[in-house]
Amino acid sequence: MRVLALIGTRPEAIKMAPVVRALQARPDRFSRVSVCLSGQHRELTDEVVRRFSLPVDYDLNLMRPGQTPEDVLAAGLRGIGEVLRTEQPDYALFHGDTVTALVAALAAFYARIPSAHVEAGLRTGTLTRPFPEEMHRTVADRICSFCYAPTPQARSHLEREGIPSDRILVTGNTVVDAIRLAIRIASEEPWPEELAAAGIEDRKVVVLTAHRREHFGAPLRRILGAADRLARAHRDCCFLFPAHPNPEVRRAVSDALGADSPVHVIPPLEYGVFARLLQRAALILTDSGGIQEEASVLGVPFVVLREATERPEALSDGLGCLAGTDPDRIIEAAERLLGAPRQPNKMGNTPLGDGRAAERIAAHLAGEEVAPWTPPSAGETGAGENHQGIYQAGDRNNG
């Protein structure tokens, strides 16, 4: 079989990397495994490609300053369509909910090439939240040939939308495979200079990330203001904000954080380094989808800087809570979690996967019978034990 993986952004590269590697590990079944980068995001994706040694056969290099989703959509549809017609894979794989994912699904549909969606079925239930990702993944799931759902809940979203059960396999989330692999590969590397200089080795670490499109402007300034207040109240902690290169994020930093702010604003970190930093953290504050999952897998308490999450499984064992962008709610949640004990690293099965999602996808594509992944029962993870009284069923703040 010939399989083509289509990747546009850093999170797609991270979560698709284990799948590409699992396919490459089976040359008996996959005679060609190729990768096409749309280039929707440039440097951040290139770093992941290098970290996981992914082969890149096509690079559409679409990124333009000030690009809109429509720009990427229009150029990507033509570019990916041409690649599909040249490559003629037996299967095109795409991941997640970016413009590149939607374009990949559309282009494969037009070229009549079977396509499969990795991490299918995530939903908030509101088409505009998150914007525009909920629309991307809903349309992509409708038109692709096969859905690899990360969890049983994602599967039930798909079934509710009329996707037949025989077009869905629950695999676990490939993020579990990815973060474990990255930590293993990078485990012996020294910390980069900026992290050592910030004092991560002898202080508790708090990691902040925030760059969602719907938070640009006032919400982002509120988030940063809350982080600044927290960092001033907790001088024993090292607050690190690896800031996304987006100009809107830069603007919010200069508006909300004074020169004397104890929040260290640093460039984005390479994934292997970032994964190890998350593993070391006492607390994570994030509006990212993937980082919520990674925090849950690593057993690190986390505050989700969003009003709703399409990843409720990550909150299921009481490690994380939703706080939106209101500074008082963020500070209240962070204070509560900072005092909470860390859970041990979850090395086996987690509420998001067992680290073998990529292997299942490769086996399924190879035509083998694959048993769906099943989440651990409450006793295995501590789910339902409500460790720090953080997650209450029916609690408005916890979705």
Active site residues: 97, 119, 133, 211, 213, 244
Near ligand UDP by CB under 6 A: residue from 18, 172, 290, 382: 290
Contact call for residue 288 and ligand UDP (CB under 6 A): yes
Whether the bond between 130 and the residue before it is cis, its omega within 30 degrees of 0, is yes
Give min distance, CB of 285 to ligand UDP, in A. Answer: 12
Please provide residue 209's backbone torsions phi and psi, each rounded to the nearest 5 degrees. Answer: -135, 140
Q: How far apart (Å, rounded) are the C-alpha atoms in residues 256 and 50?
A: 34
Contact call for residue 289 and ligand UDP (CB under 6 A): yes
Shorter beta-carbon distance to ligand UDP: residue 10 or 363? 10
Q: Shortest CA distance to 206 belongs to which of 321, 313, 339?
A: 339
Contact call for residue 148 and ligand UDP (CB under 6 A): no
Shorter beta-carbon distance to ligand UDP: residue 172 or 242? 242
Q: Which stretch binds ligand UDP (CB under 6 A): 9-17, 85-93, 189-197, 298-306?
A: 9-17
Shorter beta-carbon distance to ligand UDP: residue 96 or 382? 96
The DSSP bridge partners found for residue 148 are 118, 169
Contact call for residue 14 and ligand UDP (CB under 6 A): yes
Shorter beta-carbon distance to ligand UDP: residue 97 or 354? 97
Q: Which stretch binds ligand UDP (CB under 6 A): 153-161, 268-276, 324-332, 385-393?
A: 268-276
End-to-end CA distance of the chain: 42
Near ligand UDP by CB under 6 A: residue from 11, 18, 318, 320: 11
Near ligand UDP by CB under 6 A: residue from 5, 7, 122, 269: 269
Shorter beta-carbon distance to ligand UDP: residue 87 or 119? 119
Name the residue type at position 158. L
Contact call for residue 192 and ligand UDP (CB under 6 A): no
Give min distance, CB of 14 to ligand UDP, in A. Answer: 5
Contact call for residue 360 and ligand UDP (CB under 6 A): no
Q: Which stretch binds ligand UDP (CB under 6 A): 8-16, 64-72, 247-255, 340-348?
A: 8-16
Contact call for residue 301 and ligand UDP (CB under 6 A): no
Contact call for residue 256 and ligand UDP (CB under 6 A): no
Shorter beta-carbon distance to ligand UDP: residue 171 or 309? 309
Q: Shortest CA distance to 195 belongs to which of 259, 273, 298?
A: 273
Contact call for residue 314 and ligand UDP (CB under 6 A): no
Which residues in the 208-227 window bind ligand UDP by CB under 6 A?
Answer: 209
Shorter beta-carbon distance to ligand UDP: residue 10 or 234? 10
- Number of residues located near ligand UDP, criterion CB under 6 A: 14
Near ligand UDP by CB under 6 A: residue from 150, 242, 299, 320: 242
Shorter beta-carbon distance to ligand UDP: residue 119 or 359? 119
Q: How far apart (Å, rounded) are the C-alpha atoms in residues 43 and 30?
A: 29
Contact call for residue 95 and ligand UDP (CB under 6 A): no
Other C-beta atoms closer than 10 Å to the C-beta of 367 total 9
Q: Which stretch binds ligand UDP (CB under 6 A): 137-145, 220-228, 267-275, 348-356?
A: 267-275
Q: Which stretch binds ligand UDP (CB under 6 A): 29-37, 118-126, 282-290, 295-303?
A: 282-290
Q: Where does this chain bind ligand UDP (CB under 6 A)?
A: 10-11, 14, 209, 242, 268-269, 271, 274, 288-291, 294
